[in-house]
Chains A and B, each alone.
Chain A
Amino acid sequence: MTTSSTSGQPVLELTGIGKEFGAIRALHDVDMHVHPGEVVGLMGDNGAGKSTLVKIIAGNFRPTHGEIRFDGHAVHFNRPIDARAVGIEVVYQDLALADNLTAAANVFLGRELKRKFGPIALLDHKAMAARALDLFGELRSETRPYDLVKQMSGGQRQAVAIARTRLSNAKLVMMDEPTAAISVRQVEQVLSLIHRLKEQGVAVMLISHRMPDVFAVCDRVIVMRRGEKRADKPIHDTSPEEVTALITGAKEAA
């Protein structure tokens, strides 16, 4: 299960990506690729360019230079919706959940299932709950579709946010610091959720500061520093010490 499938066509391929904000060069000549079913850790200190890179892939920014290929085709995203349409989903750090709604309602937020009664389209609560329960089952999460998100643990909330990405059959899921604000037991749950995504052949990019998490789930780690990619190594060819050195700049490149 943990062997990376680096053969075949990459789902995401970046070539020579650069981004300038006026005189500030946030990203310079970044090449990277992610394969289906691969979990890639994206690490770097604050200001290293991680967020800019993620926002370019998610369609929040357009790159100044370079090319993005998704599923073998060159893509240009003007808005986040464009990225979502091809199969890129982002799980935000604050999860973007509405606390006052149920788990199922959150999973289907913005793409509710409806049944037509003549000219009126009413919500199909049963179908949505059943589908949500399926998704939670796939993720091995003990989450009831009709429970309010308000009353859920951090791990369950993560499951709801991740189930949302499964709903659209995303091919690439980017997770922004999913383990930053939750308890130790819940971190375990989130890491196992990432394993579930991998099992389904979904490519995952994990943006994290937490070294143990990255080494627990990732097949490969990419280290950014000062807007450049400094390292791109299979996880078993590196060590937390080396990655730390790369992040801080003690070691220039690997």
Chain B
Amino acid sequence: MSVPMENPISFTNVGRSKWWHRGIFASQTGYVLLALVVLMIAMRFASPYFFTEGNMQNVAKNFSFIAIATLGITFVIITGGIDLSVGSMMCFSAMITSMVMVELSASGSSFVHLAADGKTVVANVPGLIFLISVLAGLLAAFIVGIINGFCIAVLGLSPFVTTLGMLSIVRGLAYVVSNGRGSFPGGPDADLFYGLTSGDVYGVPAPFIYLVILALVMAVVLHHTSFGRHVFALGGNEKAAELTGIPVVRVKIQVYVLCALAAGLQGIIISGWLGSAPANMATSYELNVIAAAVIGGANLAGGLGGPLGAIVGCVLLEVIRNGLVLAQVNSYWQQTLVGVIIILAVLVDRIRSRMT
């Protein structure tokens, strides 16, 4: 099929950019990572407590509390969409999980039969209540994600408006199902639940372990599967994606479902750490999550982003918060500083892309 070439392609006219102009070195993720390293070194000298084991564990735990949801929303942001319902989704999933857990354990419950020993039937299988209740929480997230995706991909509503509506709907449902009181994990599997959500393995916080695993999986999915490729194509040029036969509607629904599931899982983990799922839990977390993704280099116009950026953004936010605490700065400054950093990160990227 290939034609014998009189002259092989020489690339005489086409230069190759230098290594520091390519890949991660040329990305916002790259220099935000650099800024993070510099900041951590500065913290090392500013406070003797920063690099202590206890503080590091704290930092790892705290940023893991928004990082899983940030991974999820990064999918959506790469396609050029946005999901404002993550905060509400965290709360709703956590609430469903703990309510199901309590319901399945209660002997007076109308949903389950009692076994001979007076416990509920499911309570006799170790871990079953835990499994069912977590799956129930994730199922709630899945349904909300499907609805988001359907409205956006099939009905063609704007992602901003759809998920803004969903933010309110899901939060409202959380108040409705709990009568505004929130719910508490309970029953025989509660200890297992707390252990798996806020425990640690050899000093490494469990949420951090989940985060690392999910981030690795996400990196493979984004860069080494056709689904990931289609996610990027959608953000780069949606019309081109459609013309080349990419199932645009399906991919869009999938990213909103992934985002909702990540938020749901995140919410369940947070409720384990809090010991409850109050109805006002994770209020306005969507803004932290979006901020972390954007600081880490996800482009709200679509086409750019990844798990490393999502994590770097979350770590940076947490190190700053932690640093301000250690430096005994009034903690109210944190929000102001986060805002400044969002704008700075995007501004530096703009200046850099103008220079090259």
Residue ranges of A at the interface with B (Cβ–Cβ < 8 Å) = 80-81, 84, 92, 94-101, 105, 109-112, 114, 120-123, 125, 134, 136-138, 140-144, 151, 156, 164, 199-200
Contact = CB atoms under 8 A, between A and B. Distances in A.
B193 to A, nearest CB: 31
Given A98-B240, A138-B2, A200-B3, A109 B229 contact: yes
A141 B13 CA distance: 11
Contacts of B13: 142
B336 interface: no
Dominant secondary structure at the B interface: loop
B346 interface: no
Contacts of A144: 11, 14, 16
A109 B244 contact: yes
Contacts of B110: none
Contact of B17 (A114, A151, A156, A164): A151
Contact of A101 (B2, B16, B233): B233
Chain B, interface residues (CB within 8 Å), range: 20 to 34
B9 A140 contact: yes
A137 B225 contact: no
Nearest to B224: A122
Contact of A123 (B5, B8, B226, B243): B226
Given A110-B245, A112-B226, A121-B225, 7 more contacts: A98-B241, A100-B235, A109-B233, A121-B226, A141-B9, A144-B14, A199-B3
Interface of B: 1-3, 5, 8-14, 16-17, 220, 223-226, 229-230, 232-233, 235-237, 239-241, 243-246, 303-304
Contacts of A114: 226
B232 A98 contact: yes
Contacts of B244: 96, 109-111, 164
B267 to A, nearest CB: 29
22 contacts: A81-B245, A94-B239, A96-B237, A96-B239, A97-B237, A97-B240, A100-B232, A100-B304, A101-B232, A105-B233, A109-B229, A110-B241, A121-B225, A122-B224, A137-B8, A138-B3, A140-B5, A142-B14, A143-B14, A151-B17, A199-B3, A200-B3
Contact of B243 (A92, A105, A121, A125): A92
Contacts of A156: 14
Contacts of A111: 244-245
A144 B232 CA distance: 20
Nearest to A199: B3
Given A96-B239, A97-B240, A122 B220 contact: yes
Contacts of A99: 236-237, 303
Nearest to B243: A96
Nearest to B223: A123
B1 to A, nearest CB: 8
A166 B239 CA distance: 21
A98 B223 CA distance: 15
B221 to A, nearest CB: 10
A137 B2 contact: yes
A121 B244 CA distance: 20
